[in-house]
Structures are given as structure tokens and as C-alpha cells.
A and B are shown apart, each in its own frame.
Chain A
Amino acid sequence: MKARTLHLLTGIIEQRIYVVLVLLILFSILFVPDFATPVNLSNLTVQLSIDGVIVIGMTILMIAFGIDLSVGANFAMSGIVYALLAKNGFPIPVAALGGMLAGGLIGMVNGLLVTKLKIHFFIATLATMVIVQGLAITVSSGEVVYAGVPNFEWLGRYQIGLVQFPFIVFLFVALIGHFILSQTKIGRYWYAIGDNQETAKRVGLNANRIFVYAFIAVGLSAGLSGVLFAARANAGSPSLGVDTALNVISAAVIGGVSLYGGIGSVPGASAGILIINILRNMLNLIGVSPYWQYVVRGIILSGVVVMDAYFNWAKRSV
């Protein structure tokens, strides 16, 4: 009997993220007015999908033991590229693909800086963040770029009933991400180099190339997200993405992805982004000032980082 209780308890602690998510949803439905309305939920899914797509890429990178601080700048840049391409007469699918590839390219540059020049990923992505911000302001002349072509906003606004297209994209990306991480060789390699790069190298993995792939993955996801948001907003803007990195990293860490590599999963990270967005939505509905939300967000991130340090104590003190 006692053993069984203990077993149950460990189970709850291991799956704490989903327990928290379910409790949070229950709480919101019961106590927050207007939460469980179709319109609100539909909006919630859009907000969550925009950051959520990047979370999937960031999860991959964090599992391979890296962080990308430039995702916000990348997100803004890709939206601008999408808008500019569409404005200059490229068909929408080509423009969207172009925006996404621009994101992937930035990711690749990050990856090469880290693996070839051996710059620490924090500094490398901090530098590319500023460079891409500068580029985004330069190419957009510092202004909002309206494409002004029909169907530009389709990707962000299309709805099947109440299900929004960005949410479908998010689910699709999450499924692919989960599949790659859990079923394919490259997924296992990401875990391997994140867990112990030296060992991974010694058994013959090309750790550098695998790491660059992880950076490309996060770049592509930021690009895709940027395109979706630009479509939703019907324009690209250089001032976007200021706290994207913060949100995305928080979501991943809340979802159990370790800052020290090798640990994490897509379902966990998805639960993380759900928790963050439900909290934000809740605070909005209750009428908490948006200024407080900065504070709350920072406290959440600091809290989960401390939690991460605590739960990965054993791994880190080796």
C-alpha cells in the first residue's frame, strides 16, 4: 500500500508538467470568466501557435545543448522577407517559403559561428541577434512593410470552423518534431551530442554537423513562425520579437527541457507553451495590467530555471 502511494507520487512528480497543465486549465474554466468561450479559445490557439512553432525548434536545439537568443530578430526578419517578396510580385507560396528559408539561413549562420569559429552559442546568437535586428531595420527602412497583395494574410487568418490555420501548422510541426526526435537517427544523435559531446564524438558522430542541423531547425521554425505572424498581421515589422526568446526558452524549460542538454521532449515543451499562454490569457481576462505581465513572465522564467537547476543537480555535478 505504502509502496503504491510512493509509486503514484513519483509518477506525479515525473509528469508534473501535465498535472500542472490540467490543473491550470480546470482552474481557468471554473474561475476565469470568459475563458471557456469559443472565441477566446480560438484566439488563444493562435497566440500559442506563433511562439509554439519556435518552441519546437528551440527544444531540438536545447536537447543538442544550445540556446538561440536570436529567434526574436529572426522572427521579425522572416516576416519582413515574406512581405517584401510578396510585395515585389512573387507568388504567395514562394514568398512564404522565402521567408522561412531566410530564417533557416540565419540559423545556419549561427550554427557555423558556433561550430567553425567555436564561439560560445550565447555570444554568437547575441551578436547575430543584433546584426539581424540591424538588417531588418535596414531592409524595411525602419517601417512596417505592407505587402498589399490579395491572399497575403491567408496563412494567418484561414479558419476551418473555429480551428485556425496557424494552430494546424503548430500541431503539424509538433508532430514532425516529435517524430524526428523520438523515431529517427538524427533525433537520437541530437540527444547524444547534448548529453555528452565528447563521447558522441568518440563513437564517431560528426557532432559539429549534427549541431548545425539543430541550429537550422530552430532557424526554420523561427522563419515559419515569422511568416505566420506577418500573414496574421498582414504586414512585416522590424520591431517585433522583442521577448520571443524569453517566452520560447521559458516554455521549453517549463516543459522539462534541460538547459544543460540531453533532456527534453516535444510534448513537454508543448505543454510548457500552453501553460505560458493560458497564464497570459488568464491575466488579460482578469484585467491585470500588461506591465505586470513582464514581471510575471520574468518570475516564471527565473523560477523554472531554478527548478531546472534543482532537478538536474545530479547531472551537472558530475
Chain B
Amino acid sequence: MGSITRNIKERNLSLNSARQLALTEPTLVLTLGLIVIMSFLNPYFLTINNFLNVLRQASVVGIVTCGITWMMISGSFDLSVGSIVSFVGIVFLTTINNGMSVPGTVFVSLLVGMMCGAINGLLIAWLKANPMIITLGTLSIYQGLAFLTSGGNYIKVPDDTPFRWLGNGKVGPIAVPTLIFFGVALILQWILTKTSFGHRIYAIGGNDRAARLVGIKVSQYRLVLYIVTGLCSAIAAMIVTIRGGYANNQAGLGLEFDAITAAVLGGCYMFGGKGSVLRGLWGAVLLALLDNAQTILGISSSNQLIVQGIVLIIMVSIQVYVFNRSKPE
């Protein structure tokens, strides 16, 4: 008798801890589950080649996600990143075609991205407008600018440009976009955890008003956050343009949704104050892994959209559940 009850207790305990793990670390459970299931279904999935491929595919969304992660930690949002990517991509190629030097082109592209971010930041930080709706508005503005600068046409990447290395080059076995992605993530993570600037971002996200009361200049911080997000979008824009072989006004379509999904998938909090860039990186890789698995299984891209939406809903509702349970009421 005694041993049976003990057995049941132990089983309950292990069930409980499994449930606990699924609630506190859904990202880990999803990652492991995906890898285990897929390695049974398809031998190609668990190869180094495929994994390097996934890392390269994750890089564009990943770089944008790095910016979005900062944004979410500070308790804010940016829906306009996709349009910034389209717009900067067109600016990038137009500058190359006008014969600008390599550093000049990089400078102009990054500057345009940062300016787009600065416009968002100024409207939101100084005029105190709702970030979701404002960036929905600027999404349309940058989309329009992308249309205007490209005339609605596709612009091809010139064949002889040194920038080709940026999208297709490799260092050892690792693709250059992956390296840039990891580099951006590490720098942003370092700022977030090792500098007072980063700590204050957490403070703002945790409690905006309290942060203001202890003397943090919240508006200035928000402005910088939006500029950094613009910068990340600009870097992503250059890579996606080179990799795609052309720029047009739809290059960044849906990227904001991918980036938000990736950040949430990695375990960043929707309510601000929690998360890290490395988690955003993990989320971006997991998202790419999910897409890769579905592509291997032959699931159509429209159905992948559905899956992505459902995964986002599940992850957010787990977060909300844990958040409400842990409230000290």
C-alpha cells in the first residue's frame, strides 16, 4: 500500500513539475519537442547543414527581433519595422546605383533607418501618443515613401557590387548574415545587462511612472529605443535586399508580425520589464526552425501563417496565465 501511494505521489510530482516546466519555460519545451519529433519524422532535419541553413534564414527576422526585444522590455511597440525594411532596402539600392562608395552607402542606409525610428520616437515620446496606432500610421507613411522612391518597381541588385558578400558570403562554415545577427544580438545584450542605460530600460518597462519619479528621462530613453529599432531594421534591410536579389516596396511585409512572434516565442514579456535580447535571438531561431520543419513536411506557406498565429496565441496566453497567477493579490 505504502509503496503504491508513494508511487502515485511521485508520479503526481513529476507531472506537476512537467506542467511547471511547460508554464515557466514554454520556449524550451517547444524547442526540444520540435527537435525530437522532427528528428523522427525526417533524417535531414537534425543535420549541421540544415541547422546552419536555419540560422541564416533566422538572421533577417532575428536582427529586427533584437530591436523589438528592447522595445518590448521597455513596454512599447513598433509595428512599422516592416515598412522601414522595405523603404531602407530601396534607398540602399538606389544609393548603390548612383555610384556611392561602400561606406557612404552603409552610412546613408543606416541613417535613413535611424531617422524613420526617430520620427516614431518623437511622436510617441514627446507627444505621448499611443505607440501601436502611431506606428500603424508611420507604417503607411514609410510604405508610401518606399512606393515613391521606387516608383512601385522592383530594383535589381547590381551584379558587381561588393555588397554581395554581405548576403551570400561565408566565414568558415557560417554565413555572414548569421554572424551579423549574432553580433547585433550580443552588443544589444551587453548594453542591456552591463550598462546603466540597459538597467533603466528594464526600469521603464517595469513601471513607467516610477521610473519618471526617480528621475529617469523616460522620453529620451524611448526616443533612443525607437532609433535603435530603426537601426536594426536598416541592417536587416540591407541583408534581405542582397539575399533576395532585388528591393521593392513589399520586401518587409509582415516582418513586424514575425519579429513580435519571435520575441514572444523566446519568452519576452508582453507587459514590459522582462526579457533579454538573447531570448529574442532564441525565439527568432526557434521561429525559423518551426518554418523549416513545416517546409520539410510540405506545409503550404498560407498554412504556416495559420500555425504561426496559433503558436503566438498559445505562447501569449501561457505568459498571461503565469503572470496573473504570480500576482501578489
- Residues on A close to B: CB < 8 A? 67, 69, 113, 117-120, 122-124, 126-131, 133-135, 137-138, 142, 243, 245-246, 249-250, 253, 259, 289, 291-302, 305-306, 308-310, 313
CB proximity to A under 8 Å, residues B257-297: 257, 260, 264, 270
Stretch at the interface among B34-42, B55-63, B219-227, B308-316: B308-316
Question: Counting CB contacts under 8 A, is B14 at the interface?
Answer: no
Find the A residue at minimum CB distance from B306.
A134
A84 to B316, CA, bound (A): 33
Does the CB pair A297–B140 fall under 8 Å? yes
> Are B306 and A138 in contact, CB atoms less than 8 angstroms apart?
yes
In the complex with contacts A119-B317, A124-B313, A309-B130, A295-B148 CB distance below 8 A: yes
Which of B137, B264, B316 is A246 in contact with, Cβ under 8 Å?
A: B137
The one of A133, A291, A301 that contacts B133, using a Cβ cutoff of 8 Å: A301
Chain A contact surface mostly: helix
Point out the residue from A69, A134, A300, A301 that lies within 8 Å of B303, measured CB to CB: A134
What is the interface residue range for chain B against chain A? 35 or more
Contacts of A294 in B (CB 8 A): 140-141, 143-144, 147
Give the Cβ gap from A291 to chain B, nearest Cβ, in Å.
Answer: 4
B210 CB within 8 Å of chain A: no
Q: How far is the CB of B26 from chain A (nearest CB, A)?
A: 14
Q: Contacts A243-B140, A297-B140, A309-B129 given; indicate if A117 touches B320 (C-beta within 8 A).
A: yes
**Taking each of A117, A118, A133, A305, which has the highest tally of chain B beta carbons within 10 Å of its own beta carbon?**
A305
Partner of B137, one of A122, A134, A298: A298
Name the distance in Å between A253's Cβ and chain B's nearest Cβ. 8
Interface CB pairs A-B, < 8 A, 27: A69-B136, A123-B270, A123-B316, A126-B312, A129-B309, A131-B310, A133-B305, A134-B303, A142-B302, A246-B139, A253-B133, A259-B133, A291-B144, A292-B148, A293-B144, A294-B141, A295-B141, A295-B144, A298-B137, A298-B139, A298-B144, A299-B137, A299-B141, A305-B133, A306-B129, A308-B130, A309-B128
Would A302 and B309 be within 8 Å (CB), given that A119-B316, A126-B257, A294-B143 are in contact?
no
How far does the alpha carbon of A300 sit from the alpha carbon of B320 in the complex, in Å? 34
User: Do A118 and B317 touch (CB < 8 A)?
Assistant: yes
Q: B204 within 8 Å of A by Cβ?
A: no
* Cα-based distance from A126 to B310 in the complex (angstroms): 11
5 closest A-B pairs by beta carbon, nearest first, are A294-B144, A134-B305, A298-B141, A298-B140, A301-B137
Q: A295-B140, A295-B141, A305-B137 are in contact. Are A122 and B317 (CB under 8 A)?
A: no
Given contacts A295-B141, A295-B148, A298-B137, contact A117 B303 (CB under 8 A): no
Check: B28 CB closer than 8 A to any chain A CB.
no
CB contacts (< 8 Å) of B303 on chain A: these are 134, 138
Q: Pick the contact of A302 from B132, B134, B152, B324 — CB < 8 Å?
A: B134
B136 touches A301 (CB 8 A): yes
Q: Is B123 an interface residue (CB 8 A)?
A: yes
Closest to B139 in A: A298
**A301: B residues at CB distance < 8 A:** 133, 136-137, 140
Instruction: For A117, give its contact among B132, B308, B310, B317 (CB under 8 Å).
Output: B317
**Does the CB pair A295–B145 fall under 8 Å?**
yes
Nearest CB of B to A65, in Å: 12
Chain B 123-159: CB-based contact to A (< 8 A → 1; otherwise 0): 1000111101110111111111101100110000000
Chain A positions within 8 Å of B101 at CB level: none
Q: How far is the CA of A193 from the CA of B138 in the complex (A)?
A: 30
Contact in complex: B306, A135 (CB < 8 Å)? yes
Measured between beta carbons, the chain B residues less than 8 angstroms from A128 are 309
Asked if B305 and A131 sit within 8 Å, CB to CB, the answer is yes
Is B300 positioned at the interface, with any CB of A under 8 Å from its CB?
yes
Q: Contact: A123 with B309, CB < 8 Å? A: no
* Contacting residues, chain B, for A313 (C-beta < 8 A): 128
Q: Are B312 and A127 in contact (CB under 8 A)?
A: yes
Residues of A with C-beta under 8 A to B50: none
Task: Decide yes or no whether B304 CB sits under 8 A from chain A.
Answer: yes
- Contact (Cβ within 8 A) B304 A134: yes
The one of A118, A122, A291, A305 that contacts B148, using a Cβ cutoff of 8 Å: A291
Q: How far is the CA of A313 from the CA of B127 in the complex (A)?
A: 11
Q: How far is the CA of A34 from the CA of B141 in the complex (A)?
A: 28
CA distance A245 to B152 in the complex (A): 22
In the complex, A130→B140 CA distance in Å? 18
State the Cβ distance, B323 to closest chain A Cβ, in Å: 9
Cα A257 to Cα B315 in complex, Å, equals: 32
**Set of chain A residues within 8 Å of B129, measured between Cβ atoms:** 302, 305-306, 308-309
List of B residues within 8 angstroms of A127 by Cβ: 309-310, 312-313, 316
Say how far A186's CB is from chain B's closest CB, in angstroms: 26
Contacts of B141 in A (CB 8 A): 294-295, 298-299, 302
Q: How far is the CA of A138 from the CA of B301 in the complex (A)?
A: 9
From the candidates A120, A249, A298, A306, name the one contacting B127 in the complex (CB within 8 A). A306
B265 to chain A, nearest CB (A): 12
Q: How far is the CB of A315 from the nearest CB of chain B, in Å?
A: 13
A38 smallest CB distance to B (angstroms): 31
* Residue of A118, A126, A137, A249 with most partner-chain B CB within 10 A: A126
A123 adjacent to B137 (CB under 8 Å):
no
Residues on B with beta carbons closer than 8 Å to the beta carbon of A117: 313, 316-317, 320
Residues of chain B within 8 A (CB-CB) of A289 are 148
Q: A299-B137, A300-B137 are in contact. List 5 more A-B contacts (CB 8 A).
A: A130-B305, A130-B309, A296-B144, A305-B133, A306-B129
| Docked pose: A113 CA to B257 CA in angstroms | 18
Question: Known contacts A117-B317, A122-B132, A291-B148; is A298 also within 8 Å of B324 by CB?
Answer: no
